[in-house]
Structure 1
Amino acid sequence: RQRVICLTLFCILHDSTNTIGPKEGWQVYSSAQDADGRCICTVVAPEQNLCSRDAKGRQLRQLLEKVQNMSQSIEVLNLRTQRDFQYVMKMENQMKGLRTKFRQVEDDRKTIMAKNFQELKEKMDELQPLIPVLEQYKTDAQLISSFKEEIRNLSMVLTAIQEEMGAYDYDELYQRVLRLDSRLRNCMGKLTCGKLMKITGPVTIKTSGTRFGAWMTDPQASQRNNRVWYMDSYTNSKIVREYKTMEDFVANVVSRTYNLPFKWEGTGHVVYNGSLYYNKYQSNIIVKYSFETGRVLAQRALEYAGFHNTYPYSWGGYSDIDVMADELGMWVVYMDPDTLEVQKTWNTEYSKRNAGESFMICGTLYITNSHLTGAKVYYSYSTKTSSYEYTDIPFHNQYFHMSMLDYNARERALYAWNNGHQVLFNVTLFHVIKTEDDS
């Protein structure tokens, strides 16, 4: 068999006798002449055995063998590459799965740590307002400076922890905060009355009952006595529920139920020194009811006091008469808690119908301008000086409708019934601290 090799040969033609003959093994298929007179021929090479000793032929065969060997090697390499590629793909998928799991574990850890540190941060925020109080302590400036430095250091540590999670031992930090909290609370026992400066919160304790109601603890009770009383609705009821602790209140574990002898009006009730004081239904009478004996200990009609929506707060609800308690005693106006005898009356000249709610702190009456969203403490009246002033102390009416707001002197907090939610507000007071040097 002959192989066709396309070559371009240049030859000089003198005459026909010089043509290469067939006996030499080359066959001319066509010829032509270029512009310079040179011959251009197309030839067919002779059979294989005619060129077996040709050096270029041997080189060509060697090259072909090398190409074949290379092709086989490439094929083997390709198979190995395909196998390795499948293995790498499998390992890549496994690595991605592990990476996802590690990321999830890391995110969960950071979430838990962030939550713990946020709780500490909130604790620090609660302690921070007490610093201006301590600065009034004339005889212990060095201790105050120490407190301030300790809080500053803890705040810096908290900030650093938020940036680098886990850089500080959480338990040690938590114990430091608890120790500082204990020391500050011991100092609070020396505080006298103060002026309301700020209201923060609220903290939602529970969601229960109707839109209107009242709940409270006893400001005169010992620190071990943490009973909670609950009175749902503003009228047509005589049922009071008692809970042993705040935890029981949240879990709705009722320890005792009282059936009052008279229905109540409004939500302006107060528990004071073991007794409930409330406005008797459709009257201007204040009733003192003992939880211990289950009997009415005293009743007193308040002369000229409106009732049954004659002079209520802006939200209505028969809230004409509001019984309160603070550091100085119990108030509707100011009265003796044993006999309910009225000792003195003040006319604040503030319209009851324009007030959202009110509460007493240290003998000063604080009045909100609304029971709805945007409410703030707008007006205060001092019973000590018989004078008033306009204030601007906002607070967050989270659930849009306030039907009860009372101050508890023991807890230094405001108890509120906020549209079927029982909430607590923290208060910041400007105090004057009495020392042994004070007369």
Structure 2
Amino acid sequence: MWVQVFLLCISCFTLSTLSQTQDRASLHRSNDRAGHCQYTFTVASPEESSCSGNNMKPEVDGVLSRLTLLEALVSRLIAGEDGGAGTAVGATEEGLQEAFTQVTGERNQLQQDKEQLNRQIQGLQRRLEELSAEAESLRHKPCQQTHRPASGIRVLIKGPSQSEVFDNILHSLMQFSFTLCLSDPAYDIGNGAYQEMKAEVAEVPASHLFPEGNFTGCGELQSVGDPVMHKKADSITGKYGVWLQDPEPLGDLYTNKTAWRINAVGKDVRQLFAYEDMDQFSQGFPMKVLVLPEPVESTGATMYRGSLYYQRRRSRTLIRYDLASEKLASRSDLPHAGFHGQYPYSWGGYTDIDLAVDEQGLWAIYSNNKAKGAIVISQLDPESLEVKRSWETNIRKNTVANAFMVCGRLYTVASYTAPNTTINYVFDTATGEGRAVAVPFKNKYRYNSMVDYNHAQRKLHAWDNFHMVTYDIRLGRQG
């Protein structure tokens, strides 16, 4: 706006000057020596009648120079500075409008919070008044003399589904009684005016009070806890693999605290990492690296009684590797078993043969042409790897993500990627029957490629997308 005012002032000044001098000024046009048109602006001097030479030329040049600078200044103001000022003013107005809107919104929110707090305060005040009145009523109500105890309250604890609070209860509970008087603290108990309440607790065997989580015998799977992460692999070779602890170690060289790990990504997997305990395992400090005599296929290996059991790459051959002597102890082909992608789990990974251990020994979980892709369970001799007995289930292997054995029962996991999935099927080798179940199971890291049971710890070991985790499990009683 101020630029327009400035231009208007200049125009007025110019017009005023022209009006004052138009009667005394003259403008001449002529060609110079070079043929260019030349304008001459002449103003008569009121003081001098004549002038000699060319003394007016410097003054005219100065005036022209100042006019040129003035035109340049006006052009720059019109072209740039005015637009910049307008933009700045617009931006400032927009910013002020936005700030005003934000402040208005915060004010409204604070007003709503204030009203809500006022309502809560009023509710608390009403509740306080009610409690005060109730306390005053109890304070002035004397304890009445009773000549006989109030009716006994008989409590029968039926177990076995009791809280963990009962874990340390003795093998039986004796009857007991107690007295209670609700009166003013200044009331004289010595006068005998009090109420008595007796509770009787029936004697219950302590075995019925222990929660199922402490039950150490065999039974059907009831629940699986949340995964606990112990180690995360730090390279692409650790996306999936095997990690284990021997539930029944032999000798003094390795114990049940020793942790074992195989990174299963690669064409020629032979390295078996040994860690002294779980602390060293979590920190990634192996105490020894063993080189296996034959390459490992996928994530179906297991550990049992001082030996590593695994499937040889691109074959149905099973291998028992003795950890103490670091030698191949025995090998045997699993009859008619599919291998290298014929009957894998749903996640793939050439998981055709999955070896497992539970309270009843060594197992192989696989399929063959006769079963047409359904899971076959075979119990193996842990020394010779020969098949002792087999069962055919009615669930297809490629429809489940993984499987494991607990107390002679096969359990399958529905999905390897769903964060909240289920253990969806159980097959009991004792009865030869299978059925659907729905035990919640969590894939916290969304790519669970290995699940194995350790019956000594009563835990599941799993490898979930670079993460090595364990799950606590709970079993129910037989029958």
TM-score range, shorter chain: 0.5 to 0.7
The answer for unaligned runs of 5 or more in structure 2 is 1-156, 174-208, 365-377
Q: How many Å separate the matches in 1 of 2:169 and 2:432?
A: 35
| Partner in structure 1 of residue 384 of structure 2 | 339
Q: After TM superposition, give the deviation of residue 188 of structure 1 in Å.
A: 8.6
Is the Cα contact below 8 Å between 1:191 and 1:431 reproduced in 2?
no
| Partner in structure 2 of residue 231 of structure 1 | 262
| Partner in structure 1 of residue 431 of structure 2 | 385
**Structure 1 residues 234 and 389 mapped into 2: Cα distance closer, same or farther (>3 Å)?**
farther
TM-score between the two structures when normalised by the length of structure 2: 0.51
Q: How many Å separate the matches in 1 of 2:244 and 2:361?
A: 16
**Structure 1 residues 136 and 398 mapped into 2: Cα distance closer, same or farther (>3 Å)?**
closer
**Structure 1 residues 340 and 134 mapped into 2: Cα distance closer, same or farther (>3 Å)?**
farther
1:249 is paired with a residue whose SS is: helix
| Amino acid paired to 1:416 | A
Q: How many Å separate the matches in 2 of 1:362 and 1:274?
A: 21
**Structure 1 residues 414 and 225 mapped into 2: Cα distance closer, same or farther (>3 Å)?**
closer
| Amino acid paired to 1:300 | S
Instruction: Find out whether 1:370 has 2:370 as its counterpart.
Output: no
2:298 is paired with a residue whose SS is: coil
Is the Cα contact below 8 Å between 2:316 and 2:339 reproduced in 1?
yes
**CA RMSD, 1 decimal:** 3.1
| Partner in structure 2 of residue 260 of structure 1 | 292
Q: After TM superposition, give the deviation of residue 394 of structure 1 in Å.
A: 1.2
| Partner in structure 2 of residue 275 of structure 1 | 307
| Amino acid paired to 1:365 | L
1:345 is paired with a residue whose SS is: strand
Q: After TM superposition, give the deviation of residue 396 of structure 1 in Å.
A: 1.4
The 5-angstrom pairing of residues 10-29 of structure 1 reads none
By percentage of residues, which structure has more helix? 1
Q: Which has the higher contact order (CA 8 A, sep 6+)?
A: 1
Q: How many Å separate the matches in 1 of 2:316 and 2:463?
A: 23
The 5-angstrom pairing of residues 405-420 of structure 1 reads 405-420=451-466
**Structure 1 residues 360 and 142 mapped into 2: Cα distance closer, same or farther (>3 Å)?**
closer
| Partner in structure 2 of residue 166 of structure 1 | none
Instruction: Find out whether 1:398 has 2:426 as its counterpart.
Output: no
Q: How many Å separate the matches in 2 of 1:284 and 1:133?
A: 52
Q: After TM superposition, give the deviation of residue 210 of structure 1 in Å.
A: 2.1
Q: After TM superposition, give the deviation of residue 271 of structure 1 in Å.
A: 0.9
| Amino acid paired to 1:345 | S
Q: How many Å separate the matches in 2 of 1:241 and 1:212?
A: 15
Q: After TM superposition, give the deviation of residue 252 of structure 1 in Å.
A: 1.2
| Partner in structure 1 of residue 272 of structure 2 | 240
Cα distance per residue 1:165-192 (max 9 Å; x no partner): xxxxxxxxxxxxxxxxxxx99x999832
Aligned mate of 1:206, from 231, 236, 256: 231
| Amino acid paired to 2:423 | V
Same amino acid, percent of matched pairs? 32
2:398 is paired with a residue whose SS is: helix
**Deviant stretches of 4+, over 4 Å:** 141-148, 187-190
Aligned mate of 1:219, from 231, 247, 256: 247
Cα distance per residue 1:339-390 (max 9 Å; x no partner): 1110111111211111100000000000111211133100000000000110
| Partner in structure 2 of residue 173 of structure 1 | none
| Partner in structure 2 of residue 322 of structure 1 | 354
Is the Cα contact below 8 Å between 2:394 and 2:434 reproduced in 1?
no
Q: How many Å separate the matches in 1 of 2:285 and 2:227?
A: 23
Q: How many residues align?
A: 264
The answer for unaligned runs of 5 or more in structure 1 is 1-131, 149-183, 434-439
